[in-house]
Structure 1
Amino acid sequence: MKKKTWIMISVISLVIIMISVSVYREVYAKGPSVETTEMKEEEISSLLMIPGTVKLEEEQIIYPSPEKGELKELLVSEGQEVKKGTVVARLQNPQLDLEMEQYKLSIESANLKINQLDKQLKQLKEKEKSLANQVGKEEAKKQLDPEYQQIEMEKKLANIELKQTNLQKEMMDKRLSDLEIISTIDGVVLSVNKLASSSLEVSMAEPIVHIGKLDNMIAMGLLSEYDTMKVNSGQKVVLRSDAVPDQEWTGEIIKISLLPEQTQTPLQGGSQAVQYPVTTKISGDSKSLKPGFQIIMEIETDKKIAHVLSLNALHDDGEQPYVFIVQDGKASKKNIKTGITSGEKIEIMEGLSKEDKIIIKGPDSLKDGMDVTIK
């Protein structure tokens, strides 16, 4: 009985071994299965992503001006719409008022003096007529000529003094007009802070009135010196914000600064990272955006038609990128030269042809010269 059992076990084991050998020969003798793809000619573009901040394109921030005067009254309230030229606040300057009164008195005094000299001239002419009847015209003119010269000189000096005072008054009028603060844009009053003028320390940081045009938003970011070579005015931008995750906005670059940002960030080697401000005008409905929002700006660069390949096919040993192609039933390693990357695709510049069967999926142990089977 035991002998039959052992015979049965041996037969079953032999069958299993034969089946295993058959499966091995069927699968592994031909090499592992791989999935292949080919290069495609498509439009590809590189995306440059930089952080930015949403700002108002047009705004007016009015700070206290102790050198001009103290705040007398605020004429607007938060949320109020204002037109360009609207008086939003008035300042007061008692010293300026006093100086203006002094100039007014000086002008009045100069006019009185000129009027008095005109009367003296009139009286002198009457005296000349009377004297001419006695001594003749020439003698009368000769006798009164010194008085004429004296009065004319005094009148000339009085007119110069009046002109100087009027010029000083015009300058004073300009300083007085500066006490009326007007809106320089059409917009909405975003904040009003009367307390900002109560102390000099606070006034350096807190504005009295902040006016902004909410319809026009821009995004400001920084470009490296290398990235400035790839970005130009007019390029399209896609903007996203973590604050509004389900929405995106489009924009257009309107300005790239010619000068770098003044405050630079030091690098590890001690040198500074040179960065250039870039401005994007946001298009469409931007009501859900608010000034100060942090956003990511995606700038499309290097747009062109090129041979592209899925990134899944790419390998990199740290020296040069390469792919495996199927050639005569074997995996063949091909070094390649790549270009720009866009999403899950990369530009292939050298190393492959359109007919190549490029392995996109295969075993991790794939090596050059290994037998493979295409699925």
Structure 2
Amino acid sequence: MQPSSAFRRRGPLLSAVALACLVALSGCKGNGDAEAKAAEQKGPEAIPVEAVPASHRAIAASYTGTAPLEARAESQVVAKTSGVALDVLVEEGQPVRAGQTLVRLDAARAALQTAQTNAQMRKLENNFARARQLADQQLMSASDHDQIKYDLENARAANRLANLELSYANVTAPISGVIASRSIKPGNFVQINTPIFRIVDTSKLEAVLNVPERELATLKAGLPVELSVDALPGQTFKGTVDRVAPVVDSGSGTFRVVTAFEGGGLLQPGMFGRVRIDYDNRANALVVPRVALLEDEGDPAVFVVRDGKAARVPVKLGYTDGAWAEVRSGLKAGERVVVAGKAALRDGTKVQLIGQGAEASAAAKPATSTQ
């Protein structure tokens, strides 16, 4: 059979369409191969990181610990005699000085006893004066003279005791400080040796640290101390190491370090504080942020940005001070260490600086001419 005339007319058209499709498919394949080859040549994309330069600054070696503040001196005031409280002269929170009268007790009985012993003493003094004259004239025996003398000494002692009991009617402060508590009111009957006040000396405050024995050679009296307390956030207070007890407790392996601070202000006994003792200082140490240190189990190291890649650099560390770590060897000043994004890095990984590190890097590059 001969093909129809219509088919003969469509034959060249179908051939042209087929040829165009083959050309298009060939072009798509060519473009895909080119893109894949370009991506292969380009390699993995750079990982964004933040980096800061290693720099010089002052750094201190320190020991830190926590302890509550304690008053250097504290006293329970007790009544040394019994009696009714006629006057209570101080209130809680009131400052007092040593020897100041705090309470007056009923002293009528003690006053009568004092008057009685005083009269007996005067009588014996007169008797002894006459006995001495008689003894000089040999009109009295030596034994009678001595008996009157001993009686007089006994009367004098009884009078001193009566006066002492009378003085106990005025209850006085044994130390200077602040009345921390009061357990007496006017009209109360006070028993002997009963605590009625508690006085706290807040002029000096102490914090006692139990320090591991490895620090025994570094912590000495007179070292500067810095204190921060939970009750006063954002504030620090200066003090000193007051004394060191160099005996190591065999059970805990620690020794006591007593730090002292000026009181009378915001600091109060009982506040819980963090104590920092600086025992060495370096004025121009090479430091990096502590967040730049790699948290693996190997030797200390950091990632340094060199020629757009991350290089793992081992370092030898010195002192650590807050957010900074001293680098004794392995780095030079100005080298950029990665502080953010280091978890995804490996030695030789391509990196892209972002944040302040990128701005500083761009500013360090020389300007190109536009002419």
Q: Taking structure 1 as the reference length, what is the TM-score of the superposition?
A: 0.66
Shift of 1:339: 1.2
Which residue does the alignment assign to 2:238?
Answer: 251
CA contact under 8 A between 1:326 and 1:372: conserved in structure 2? no
The one-letter code of the counterpart of 1:274 is: T
Which residue does the alignment assign to 1:296?
Answer: 274
Which residue does the alignment assign to 1:76?
Answer: 89
Shift of 1:15: 3.5
Which of the numbers 41, 55, 63 marks the counterpart of 2:77? 63
The one-letter code of the counterpart of 2:239 is: E
> Could you list the per-position Cα deviations for residues 17-73 of structure 1 after superposition, in whole angstroms to 9, with x for gaps in the alignment?
6335424533538x757665543222112453322323445x6533335xx323532
Structure 1 residues 133-144: aligned runs within 5 Å: none
Structure 1 residues 62-211: aligned runs within 5 Å: 62-65=76-79, 68-70=80-82, 72-73=84-85, 74-78=87-91, 79-90=93-104, 103-104=117-118, 107=121, 110-111=124-125, 113-114=127-128, 117=131, 148=138, 150-167=140-157, 169-170=159-160, 173-174=163-164, 176-184=166-174, 187-194=177-184, 203=194, 207-211=195-199
> Could you list the per-position Cα deviations for residues 149-190 of structure 1 after superposition, in whole angstroms to 9, with x for gaps in the alignment?
643442233124323442454355445434532235555434
The one-letter code of the counterpart of 2:171 is: I
Q: Which stretches in structure 2 are left out of the alignment for 5+ residues?
A: 1-13, 354-371
Separation in 2 of the partners of 1:6 and 1:64? Answer: 113
Change (3 A) 1:232 1:86: same
Q: Taking structure 2 as the reference length, what is the TM-score of the superposition?
A: 0.67
Separation in 2 of the partners of 1:82 and 1:282? Answer: 18
Percent identical:
19
CA contact under 8 A between 2:120 and 2:155: conserved in structure 1? yes
Q: Which stretches in structure 1 are left out of the alignment for 5+ residues?
A: 126-147, 265-269
The one-letter code of the counterpart of 2:77 is: Y
Structure 1 residues 193-272: aligned runs within 5 Å: 193-194=183-184, 203=194, 207-212=195-200, 216=203, 218-224=205-211, 225-227=213-215, 229-245=217-233, 247-253=234-240, 255-258=242-245, 271-272=251-252
Change (3 A) 1:176 1:254: farther
Which of the numbers 59, 74, 86 marks the counterpart of 1:44? 59
Shift of 1:88: 0.8
Which of the numbers 304, 308, 328 marks the counterpart of 2:287? 308
Which of the numbers 35, 42, 65 marks the counterpart of 1:19? 35
Separation in 2 of the partners of 1:99 and 1:5? Answer: 134
Query: Number of matched residues?
Result: 331
DSSP-derived class of the 1:367 partner: coil
CA contact under 8 A between 1:260 and 1:277: conserved in structure 2? no
